[in-house]
């Protein structure tokens, strides 16, 4: 298969060739090339031999039939789909082309361009160039990877979403430029948020964002989610995108759900938390220790009880648990299982509990011990769990510069923790 | 060329760095013979004494002792401190110790800073490559280049497997070009890998960044995630580095750009070259560099397969790299070109549209048209 793939690939590249040309290009022996040429003769025509007047035979020359090009390309793709690849010569690339990453380089590069580079450029032309590069990378990755496993599939989903969002942003920037008769692109600060004609497109983007967030598996790449949230926060559509379809007015705001799963033994911890949240004017609801038994719907009851907030990516769920309490451990596991978006969970324990600590970490949640906990530590963890990663570096080093526009929580007037805290 | 120094290493650091850079070359050259004679332990001992002596120099070195005096003293110190178990051992190690004497004496007599000398040589080699491809490098571009050597005590936190960091800043003001190359070394941790990769690192900075075009000022600095400047051009620099023997001819023993054992220098350069485009969790720029590196290698591979260039893929490849780097095509368009090459050459089912453009380039040598036509192939 590999020899056929390489010989046919050589035919596509060279268009006119001798057997020796094909052999050199493909690295396949001339005898094999002749066999393949004979078997796949429908793609080529043999050119007439022109006498040169010199002694000795002339090498036969072939041409690729123009009408056969498309069929040949499809055949090559079919062979690639079952694993045929060009020989890798002198490349630093590993055989799978992924350079040691779990995700192909072209997909990581597209993601990096859309999530981290795009918010830094100001002109429409620069944005266009980055979009072209990212789209090319995405297409390369898409054609290269067959049946991606979960981690890679999640990256594909994010890049696909980001491409569409970035193009929608580009549309409104262009329209605003035309309206303002400006040569240079406007910053997002100068652009009116949303427009009626984009309503359908925005609805679709909003649905997709929430689907991506809801279905995203636990990732090895700890930067993807926080960077995605940062990026969405810089979008002129941030307000619209943050709304959960079907529960828009509730889920567009940052919120804390407080669940005391420790009973009387942790009541003093819950008091501390509510006191902090009140003083910082952070909206919160208190839910029952078994709130996870009720599906997160937007009906009146669940709104009243606060459970409707649970499905929003902009809600942090804080559970207070007693060390060594099996019920608390179960409650955390069930709640995480129900709501999927595990990183929004902050588990606060009265003493250090290694089992609970390991469990929460394995679920990508945040574990805090009440011993020695200060207000800023609590607020930092909650801010991070509300997806606003600019307040707390959750997942390792971050090199993302400040976004072009205020982050979602800042836009809503909510800030947390340390020196950046600006108490209203 | 004017003296390109912006900042020299302090004396103690110079002693430690040069002591190691030079003696490592000597040690490497004689290692095989000493180990073959079953005296590898003595070789290890000598290396250990070198590291200890240079570390002491860094921490407690005397200000009143010149660099030249120290280098000669280091050679004597290494000789005196090595105890031989028998006469055969002494005879086996003698050529190495004599060579270290010779090397240090030569270094003491050079009369110029060897590190700065290496930088000047790197610029010369890089500009020669541009000139070889019909691109006369303006003298002001070379004169506007400076180098700043700095040092730090600890590991320079980075993903590359060397105890050194280097980057270039373009500080063009008005019509005057200026590029400063910053090299930070960790003398206490400086190992053979760093010492032998040093020429490649300097060549990368000079070929890819100092001589970056357009040669009209001010120039636009390429980002760290530029797939052309940091990926594609790194392959060009790596290939130029691989030809250093042929280019340089006879050079002084103490020339830090000149390897004493070619394979050691190539091995070190390869390790750094590969690491630049390998996955790193903290820095996603690796993916852009990987695309640049892979695209360049794929194009080089294609040139090697085509009838027109199969005999010498190197010339059209290097010509393309330096011509595009010197051209007025902006950084983003260069990156788009790289992306398009990668997209079309990664799988042969997609190479159809690009190959005729490359063959046309081989016919007319028109790099600009190749780049513009190639970028038109993408969405």
A374-415 pLDDT, tens per residue?
887 888 778 767 654 333 322 222 233 333 333 332 333 322
Return the top range by mean pLDDT from A144-158, A182-196, B185-199, B254-268. B185-199
Question: How far is B297 from B368, CA to CA, in rounded Å?
Answer: 20
**What is the pLDDT of chain A when averaged over all its residues?**
76
Give residue A287's Cα distance to chain centre: 31
Q: Which of B119, B97, B344, B325 is nearest to B209 (CA)?
A: B325
Of B227, B274, B336, the CB nearest to A132: B336
Closest residue on chain A to B310 (Cα): A24
Q: Mean per-residue pLDDT for A224-243? A: 80
* pLDDT band, residue A422 (cuts 50/70/90): very low
B219-255 burial: b if 16+ Cβ within 10 Å, else e:
bebbbebbbbbbbbbbbbbbbbbbebeeebeeeebbb
Closest residue on chain A to B345 (Cα): A86
Of A80, A91, A399, the CB nearest to B298: A91
Chain A residues whose beta carbon lies within 8 Å of the beta carbon of residue B305: 10, 13, 24-27
Chain B residues whose beta carbon lies within 8 Å of the beta carbon of residue A130: 332
Residue of A92, A117, A128 to mutate, testing the B interface (most B Cβ within 10 Å of its Cβ)? A92
Position B192 scores a pLDDT of: 95
State how far residue B338 is from chain A, nearest Cα, in angstroms: 9
Question: How far is B37 from B220, CA to CA, in rounded Å?
Answer: 56
Closest residue on chain B to A21 (Cα): B307
Question: How far is A409 from A415, CA to CA, in rounded Å?
Answer: 7
Position A305 scores a pLDDT of: 58
Q: Mean per-residue pLDDT for B94-98? A: 96
Position A355 scores a pLDDT of: 84
DSSP SS3 for B168: strand
Question: How far is A283 from A309, CA to CA, in rounded Å?
Answer: 11
Under the phi-then-psi rule, with left for phi > 0, alpha for psi from -120 to 50, and beta for the rest, what region is B270? alpha
Calculate the alpha carbon distances from B257 to B128, B196, B264 in Å. 15, 9, 13
Of B279, B310, B346, the CB nearest to A99: B279
Q: Mean per-residue pLDDT for B236-247? A: 87
Return the top range by mean pLDDT from A123-132, A179-188, A250-259, B365-374. B365-374
Query: Do residue B378 and residue A132 have CB atoms under 8 angstroms apart?
Result: yes
Q: Mean per-residue pLDDT for A177-203? A: 59
Chain A residues whose beta carbon lies within 8 Å of the beta carbon of residue B300: 90
Q: Mean per-residue pLDDT for B314-324? A: 98
Query: Do residue A109 and residue B291 have CB atoms under 8 angstroms apart?
Result: yes
Closest residue on chain A to B378 (Cα): A136
Query: Do residue A24 and residue B307 have CB atoms under 8 angstroms apart?
Result: yes
Position A402 scores a pLDDT of: 34
Query: Do residue A106 and residue B342 have CB atoms under 8 angstroms apart?
Result: yes
Residue with more model confidence, A309 or A350? A350
Chain B residues whose beta carbon lies within 8 Å of the beta carbon of residue A21: 307
Q: What are the pLDDT digits (tens) for B259-290?
A: 778 899 999 999 999 999 888 887 889 999 99
Position B112 scores a pLDDT of: 87
Chain A residues whose beta carbon lies within 8 Å of the beta carbon of residue B352: 12-13, 69, 73
Question: How far is A296 from A310, CA to CA, in rounded Å?
Answer: 6
**What is the pLDDT of chain B when averaged over all its residues?**
92
Q: Does the structure show a pLDDT above 70 at A249?
A: no
Q: Does the structure show a pLDDT above 60 at A184?
A: no
β-pairing, A345-349 with A315-321? parallel
Chain B residues whose beta carbon lies within 8 Å of the beta carbon of residue A109: 227, 284, 287-288, 290-291
State how far residue A152 is from chain B, nearest Cα, in angstroms: 15
Position A420 scores a pLDDT of: 27
Give residue A374's Cα distance to chain centre: 33
Query: Do residue A112 and residue B284 have CB atoms under 8 angstroms apart?
Result: yes
Q: Mean per-residue pLDDT for A321-342? A: 77
Query: Do residue A140 and residue B342 have CB atoms under 8 angstroms apart?
Result: yes
Of B310, B332, B348, the CB nearest to A24: B310
State how far residue A109 is from chain B, nearest Cα, in angstroms: 5
* Structural element, H or E, at residue B145: strand B145-151
Position B373 scores a pLDDT of: 97
* pLDDT band, residue B111 (cuts 50/70/90): confident
Position B193 scores a pLDDT of: 95
Residues 6+ apart with CB under 8 A from B379: A132, A135, A136, A139
Q: What are the pLDDT digits (tens) for B32-78?
A: 999 999 999 999 999 999 999 999 999 998 888 999 999 999 999 99
Q: What are the pLDDT digits (tens) for A254-302?
A: 788 888 888 888 889 999 999 988 887 788 888 888 877 765 554 445 5
Residue of A19, A65, A133 to mutate, testing the B interface (most B Cβ within 10 Å of its Cβ)? A133
Residue with more model confidence, A122 or A206? A206
Chain B residues whose beta carbon lies within 8 Å of the beta carbon of residue A86: 345-348
- What percent of chain A is modeled with pLDDT above 70? 70
Please say whether the beta carbons of B42 and B34 come within 8 A: yes
Position A406 scores a pLDDT of: 34
State how far residue B310 is from chain A, nearest Cα, in angstroms: 8
A182-200 burial: b if 16+ Cβ within 10 Å, else e:
eeebbebeebeeeeeebee
Residue of B341, B348, B358, B371 to mutate, testing the A interface (most A Cβ within 10 Å of its Cβ)? B348
Q: Which of A58, A55, A38 is nearest to A47 (CA)?
A: A58
Query: Do residue A129 and residue B336 have CB atoms under 8 angstroms apart?
Result: yes
Of B273, B288, B378, the CB nearest to A109: B288
State how far residue B368 is from chain A, nearest Cα, in angstroms: 18
State how far residue B108 is from chain A, nearest Cα, in angstroms: 40
Residue of B289, B291, B344 to mutate, testing the A interface (most A Cβ within 10 Å of its Cβ)? B291
Show the CA angle centred on residue A100, arms to residues A96 and A106, nearest 5°.
65
DSSP string, A310-347: GGSTTEEEEEEE-TT-HHHHHHHHHHHHHH--GGGEEE
Residue of B349, B362, B375, B376 to mutate, testing the A interface (most A Cβ within 10 Å of its Cβ)? B349
Write down the residue that tokens 């450029």 correspond to.
A121
Residue with more model confidence, A246 or B178? B178
Residue with more model confidence, A366 or A54? A366
Chain B residues whose beta carbon lies within 8 Å of the beta carbon of residue A83: none
Query: Do residue B379 and residue A21 have CB atoms under 8 angstroms apart?
Result: no
DSSP string, B103-131: HHHHHHHS-S-HHHHHHHHHHHHHHHHHH
Position B118 scores a pLDDT of: 93
Chain A residues whose beta carbon lies within 8 Å of the beta carbon of residue B288: 109, 112
Residue of A13, A87, A96, A130 to mutate, testing the B interface (most B Cβ within 10 Å of its Cβ)? A13
* pLDDT band, residue B375 (cuts 50/70/90): very high
* Structural element, H or E, at residue B321: helix B314-326
Position A253 scores a pLDDT of: 62
Q: Does the structure show a pLDDT above 80 at B198?
A: yes
Q: Which two tokens stand for residue B57?
A: 């120099």
Position B240 scores a pLDDT of: 96
Chain B residues whose beta carbon lies within 8 Å of the beta carbon of residue A73: 349, 352
Position B299 scores a pLDDT of: 97
Closest residue on chain B to A17 (Cα): B307
Please say whether the beta carbons of A357 and A367 come within 8 A: yes
Q: Does the structure show a pLDDT above 60 at B2?
A: no
Q: Which two tokens stand for residue A51?
A: 């006498």
Q: Does the structure show a pLDDT above 60 at B140?
A: yes
Calculate the alpha carbon distances from B277 to A403, B193, B273 in Å. 27, 18, 7
Query: Do residue A136 and residue B343 have CB atoms under 8 angstroms apart?
Result: yes
Does a cis peptide bond (omega within 30 degrees of 0) precede residue B218?
yes
Range from A317-321, A363-367, B133-137 carrying the lowest mean pLDDT: A363-367
Range from A113-117, A297-301, A350-354, B11-15 carrying the lowest mean pLDDT: A297-301
Query: Do residue B332 and residue A73 have CB atoms under 8 angstroms apart?
Result: no
Chain B residues whose beta carbon lies within 8 Å of the beta carbon of residue A117: 225
Position A345 scores a pLDDT of: 79
How many beta-carbon pairs under 8 angstroms link A with B?
A: 152
Residues 6+ apart with CB under 8 A from A229: A313, A387, A388, A389, A408
Chain B residues whose beta carbon lies within 8 Å of the beta carbon of residue A105: 277, 286-287, 290-291, 294
Query: Do residue A112 and residue B278 have CB atoms under 8 angstroms apart?
Result: no
Q: Does the structure show a pLDDT above 50 at A370?
A: yes
Position B164 scores a pLDDT of: 92
Question: How far is B346 from A185, CA to CA, in rounded Å?
Answer: 35
State how far residue A157 is from chain B, nearest Cα, in angstroms: 18
Torsion of the alpha carbons at A215, A219, A224 and A226, rounded to the nearest 10:
80
Residue with more model confidence, B96 or A371? B96
Of A15, A97, A126, the CB nearest to B346: A97
Q: Which of B322, B312, B329, B316 is nearest to B358 (CA)?
A: B316
Please say whether the beta carbons of A166 and A131 come within 8 A: yes
Q: What are the pLDDT digits (tens) for B199-240?
A: 999 999 999 999 999 998 888 899 889 999 999 999 999 999
Query: Do residue B339 and residue A136 have CB atoms under 8 angstroms apart?
Result: yes
Chain B residues whose beta carbon lies within 8 Å of the beta carbon of residue A87: 301
Query: Do residue B287 and residue A10 have CB atoms under 8 angstroms apart?
Result: no
Q: Kindly report the number of other CB atoms within 10 A of residue A61's CB atom.
A: 16
State how far residue A161 is from chain B, nearest Cα, in angstroms: 18
Please say whether the beta carbons of B185 and B114 come within 8 A: no
Q: Which of B256, B227, B9 is nearest to B110 (CA)?
A: B256
Q: Which of B298, B256, B294 is nearest to B273 (CA)?
A: B294
């Amino acid at each position: 298969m590999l020899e056929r793939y390489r010989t046919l690939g050589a035919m596509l590249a060279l268009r006119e060739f001798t057997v020796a040309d094909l052999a050199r290009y493909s690295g396949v022996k001339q005898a094999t090339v002749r066999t393949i040429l004979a078997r796949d003769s429908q793609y080529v025509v043999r050119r007439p031999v022109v006498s040169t007047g010199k002694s000795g035979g002339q090498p036969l020359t072939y041409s690729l039939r123009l009408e056969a090009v498309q069929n040949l390309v499809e055949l090559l793709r079919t062979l690639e789909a079952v694993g045929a690849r060009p020989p890798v010569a002198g490349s630093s690339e590993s055989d799978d082309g992924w350079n040691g990453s779990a995700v192909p380089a072209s997909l990581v590069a597209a993601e990096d361009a859309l999530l981290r580079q795009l918010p830094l450029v100001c002109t429409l032309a620069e944005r266009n160039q980055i979009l072209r590069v990212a789209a090319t990378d995405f297409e390369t990755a898409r054609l290269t990877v067959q049946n991606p496993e979960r981690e890679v599939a999640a990256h594909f989903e994010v890049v696909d979403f980001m491409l569409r969002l970035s193009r929608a942003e580009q549309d409104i920037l262009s329209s605003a430029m035309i309206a303002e008769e400006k040569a240079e692109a406007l910053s997002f600060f100068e652009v009116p948020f949303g427009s009626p004609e984009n309503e359908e497109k925005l609805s679709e983007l909003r649905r997709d964002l929430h689907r991506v967030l809801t279905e995203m598996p636990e990732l090895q790449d700890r930067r993807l989610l926080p960077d995605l949230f940062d990026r969405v926060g810089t979008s002129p559509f941030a307000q619209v995108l943050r709304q959960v379809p079907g529960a828009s007015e509730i889920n567009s705001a940052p919120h804390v759900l407080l669940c005391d799963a420790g009973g009387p033994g942790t009541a003093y911890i819950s008091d501390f938390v509510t006191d902090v949240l009140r003083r910082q004017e952070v909206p919160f609801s208190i839910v029952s220790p078994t709130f996870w038994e009720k599906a997160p719907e937007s009906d009146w009851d669940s709104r009243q009880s606060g459970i409707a907030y649970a499905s929003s990516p902009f809600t942090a769920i804080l559970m207070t648990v007693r060390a060594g309490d099996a019920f608390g451990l179960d409650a955390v596991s069930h709640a995480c299982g129900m709501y999927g978006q595990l990183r929004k969970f902050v588990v606060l324990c009265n003493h250090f509990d290694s089992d609970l600590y390991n469990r929460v970490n394995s679920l990508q949640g945040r574990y805090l011990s009440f011993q020695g906990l200060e207000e800023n530590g609590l607020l930092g963890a909650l801010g991070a769990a509300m997806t606003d990663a600019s307040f707390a570096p959750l997942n390792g080093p971050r090199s993302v510069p400040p976004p072009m526009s205020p982050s979602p929580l800042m836009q809503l007037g909510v800030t947390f923790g340390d020196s950046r805290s600006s108490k209203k | 060329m004017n003296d390109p120094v912006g900042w020299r290493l302090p004396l103690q650091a110079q002693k430690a760095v040069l002591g190691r850079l030079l003696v490592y070359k000597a040690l490497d050259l004689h290692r095989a013979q000493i180990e073959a004679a079953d005296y590898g332990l003595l070789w290890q001992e000598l290396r250990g004494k070198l590291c200890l002596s240079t570390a002491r120099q860094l921490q407690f070195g005397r200000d009143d002792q010149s660099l030249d005096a120290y280098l000669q003293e280091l050679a004597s110190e290494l000789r005196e401190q090595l105890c031989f178990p028998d006469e055969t051992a002494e005879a086996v190690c003698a050529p190495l110790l004599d060579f270290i004497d010779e090397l240090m004496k030569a270094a003491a007599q050079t009369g110029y800073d060897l590190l700065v000398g290496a930088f000047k040589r790197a610029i010369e080699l890089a500009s020669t490559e541009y000139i070889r491809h019909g691109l006369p490098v303006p003298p002001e571009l070379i004169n506007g280049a400076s180098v700043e050597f700095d040092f730090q005590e600890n590991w320079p936190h980075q993903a590359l497997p060397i105890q050194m960091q280097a980057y270039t800043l373009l500080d063009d003001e008005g019509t005057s070009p200026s590029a400063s190359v910053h090299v930070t070394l960790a003398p206490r941790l400086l190992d053979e890998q760093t010492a032998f990769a040093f020429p490649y690192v300097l060549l990368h900075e000079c070929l890819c960044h100092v001589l970056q075009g357009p040669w009209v000022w001010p120039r636009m600095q390429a980002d760290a995630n530029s797939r052309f400047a940091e990926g594609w051009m790194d392959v060009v620099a790596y290939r130029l580095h691989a030809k250093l023997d042929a280019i340089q001819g006879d050079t002084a023993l103490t020339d830090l750009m000149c390897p004493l054992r070619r394979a050691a220098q190539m091995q070190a350069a390869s390790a750094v070259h590969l690491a630049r485009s390998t996955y790193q969790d903290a820095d996603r720029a690796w993916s852009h560099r990987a695309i640049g590196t892979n695209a360049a290698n794929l194009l080089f591979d294609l040139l090697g397969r085509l009838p027109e260039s199969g005999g010498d893929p190197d010339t059209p490849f290097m010509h393309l790299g330096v011509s595009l780097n010197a051209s007025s095509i902006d950084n983003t368009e260069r990156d788009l070109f790289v992306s398009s090459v990668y997209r079309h050459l990664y799988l042969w089912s997609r190479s159809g549209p690009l190959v005729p453009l490359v063959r046309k380039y081989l016919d007319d040598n028109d790099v600009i048209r190749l780049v513009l036509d190639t970028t038109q192939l993408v969405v």
